A and B are shown apart, each in its own frame.
Chain A
Amino acid sequence: MNKVYDNKAWWLILPMLVLVAFSAIIPLMTVVNYSVQDVFDANTRFFTGTEWFAQMLNDPTLQAALLRQFAFSMTVLAIEVPLGIGIALIMPKKGWQASVVLILVTLPLLIPWNVVGSIWQIFTRGDIGLMGWGLRELGYGYNITRSTVDAWGTIILMDVWHWTPLIALLCYSGLRSIPEAYYQAARIDRASKWSVFRYIQLPKLTNVLVIGVLLRFMHSFMIYAEPFVLTGGGPGSSTTFLSQSLTTMAIGQQDLGPSAAFSLIYFLIILLVSWVFYTAIMNMQKEKQEEGI
């Protein structure tokens, strides 16, 4: 191919470049700017290099928060994905029942984050909350402000309640797109219910599940408002997740340099894990193809 020198067509990417600059590069670079300096006031600042980064990475509180964050995200993924698929499978396919169930399933998705936190805060109160009161009446000393197990259990339950519908809806639409002939052929081939799921439904759900898993991972890894409203990060710091630690540092303590460094690390972790998820799932498919040939 002939290489064109002085190709003016390059100017055509300028509008896109401007757009990306405003949407991503400029805001992000502000954070980068703070992360490598110690700023005292408008005129006084010192260059610190990687000092903030090293400090953040070695901070035991943040390390603990990071581990908690991973534990939380993996737990909710492990519950919500299978549960969502299961719900999608038993949802009615047509008629008025389908519409009613669809609306009921969608409802939790429409509630704002801190409202969800408030709802569950009231729901789990020992004196007036149905769940808190009920559990105590049944003889279980339920208390999310004292027991780490109770607090964790409640937050996971809340997240499952709030977000499983997303997976269920994605899978429901995926299932609806499978042509009837597949089910008919499976009946003719005398496939069991499990085989139909394993060889027809699950393979056809791969694409929506990639989207579902990525969305749920990113969402849950950034969770803030719900646990903040429900437990305030307690008891102790047992439910303090990454974004809450960050907010405390940036807004509460005004430690702009460390917060900026921390933000960047946070962002890179999400990017990295999402990339790993994505390539892992895509590679799974690719390997299968190569095996075949």
Chain B
Amino acid sequence: MADKVAIIGVGYTPPRPLTPDVSYKEMTYEAAVKSYHDANLSSHKDIDGFVTCAEDLLEGTSIFDEYTPDQLGAVQKPMHTISGDALYGIATAYMKIKTGLMNIVVVEAHSKASNIKTLPHILNYAVDPILNRPLNLHPYYIAGLEMQSFLAQTKTTPEQCASVVVKNKKNALRNDLSCFGANLTLQEVLNSAQTFSPLTKLQTVDHVDGAIVFVLASEKTAKKLHKKPIWVKGCGWISDSPTLETRNWDECDYAKLSSKMAYKQAGIKNPRTQIDFFEVDDTFSYKELQHLEAIGVYKKGTAGEACLKGDLNPTGKTPVNVSGGSLGIGSLLEASGGFRILEIIKQLRGEAGVRQLKKNKTALALAWRGIPTASGACVILATK
């Protein structure tokens, strides 16, 4: 088994709501070239294997993995596609290197959300076709059900959920990659159009296009190629039972168990003191709070108050989504977790500019696979 695995390269295209000027292949090529340059690779031929993260129905192409090699320089190389978030790809690349099978592995994810004209209908295709789909409801009702249960069980208030939106959109103003930065008040968030109550419009992400590519390498190669390798300390991923009728609505077992898996590998006993900052899924306002409680950073029913008090701000005790999160940057479908990792890499390298945190040694990224899933992945990164 290889001792350690690091991320040594990252390249991306700036997220934008529309990208009619480039195809997904051209967008991904740009991210790949930048990533390989960042990793100081002398040639794409040095890469041993490739992992892409994509869903056929989001691409509109069956067996989409057939269309992934060209833009990564992966023609006639080992390549496979995972139908999940970029964090699953990071975990897979980590394992490939850990086993000693490969030395350098690339992970790619992208979003062309603007090309999907019926996205809610595509998401609805993920709910049970016999038991749930005939109800013919916009699938975001599932977030409404989950938020209702979370508020009831934890006594979290709508104001506390709204404070996540205020924080993340404000953080996004300091991130030039963000599409939805804004200075908002709690009342503006709460008074925005009611959508899937208790959700309001501003508590839900908008989608954007973009591509991101990572280069991971074994310890020896990582140290040789990059001055600031970012070490993968732990990875976890969990799928809960999918049924909407019997799932645990107020707690995220996928987040709890995937973080537990990653903590064990990383030797984390107390995430709040041992991890400097967090980039966690915030597809809906309450999800950030729910995730923080599930991964043990806050006790049940206390994350909301912490956010409202400012503890989750960049200058607070526990910075969360300094990047602006998906509420601020925009959701990039399967690439969303990739942009959480991007922020962590920038922070850990000391390259985050105006957002640079002083405590920047260890960080955690958490991805949720979105409506209607009860699945997610967790990655812990560190400078040492």
Question: Does A pair with B?
Answer: no
Residues on A lying within 8 angstroms of B by beta carbon are none
